[in-house]
Amino acid sequence: MRAAGELTTALVTGACSGIGLAFATELAALGYTLVLVSNRADALAEVATDLAQRHGIATHPLVMDLARAEAATTLAAELERRGLEVDILVNNAGMLLFGEVAETDPDRAMALLQLHVVTPTLLARHLGARMRARRRGHLLFVSSISAWNDFPGIALYGSSKRYLKSFAAALRSELAVWGVNVTTVAPGATATDLYAGTKVDLALALRLGVMLTPEAVARAGLKAMFARRALVVPGLMAKLFAWGMGATPRWLIDLLRRRAPWLPRPTRRPRA
């Protein structure tokens, strides 16, 4: 899979757990020098040390809150200061918000938009420009099957993932003529810490194929990226869900919203 003598360094955001950790582990096994970015200092140091020891690679843990407005510019400057040229950028860091927009903490909403929209866009701008100058490199964006339609309860999350899918498609056209590849991986439900403390039976979901492991998602994403594919939806069930979500008419979504027990509903009309 690896192009010998060309690509040597990969940067993974959100590299401490879940899909990000799986991406980092797969790339470490392929011999890439890793730049690992997360806001969790202790976990990041542990992952960096473990991957370096197990795979005999160099790792560069960078503790940074990617939900801050200046994160992409600060990260790009730090890479230049260290003399690191990134050949593969995995824009993976993310968070989930569920609930109505009107009830969402504005700071949490801002963090999600910075993390899903602003930071990956500006990282792609900074690092994509350097890849373009070298005429090689890969940009990998982690979107979601929630990008296939617009659903209440995940308005912020879903629309931000739709943005990533759309942005990556346009960026792919821009950079392809310069020899730089852009790929989007859109996972369905994935067995990560996101479900910790919930009633979801992860073992059953994995056996039924409703969920995939982070490792399966990462392998599918990297395989598609190295094959220079535009988009991959890992797993048969996720493909079926994506198709079904995309085919769901607006009237049905609105009907489900009016009857959904998991979202608030008014008990009476406000007075005029």
Q: Enumerate the active-site residues.
A: 157
Judge contact between 23 and 218, C-beta under 8 A: yes
Q: Which amino acid is at 188?
A: G
Task: Phi first, then psi: give them for residue 268, nearest 5 degrees.
Answer: -155, 160
Among the listed residues 211, 243, 214, the one whose alpha carbon sits nearest the alpha carbon of residue 26: 214
Q: State the angle between helix axes of 119-134 and 71-82 in degrees (0 to 180), rounded to the nearest 10.
A: 30
Distance, CA of 227 to CA of 182 (rounded, Å):
11
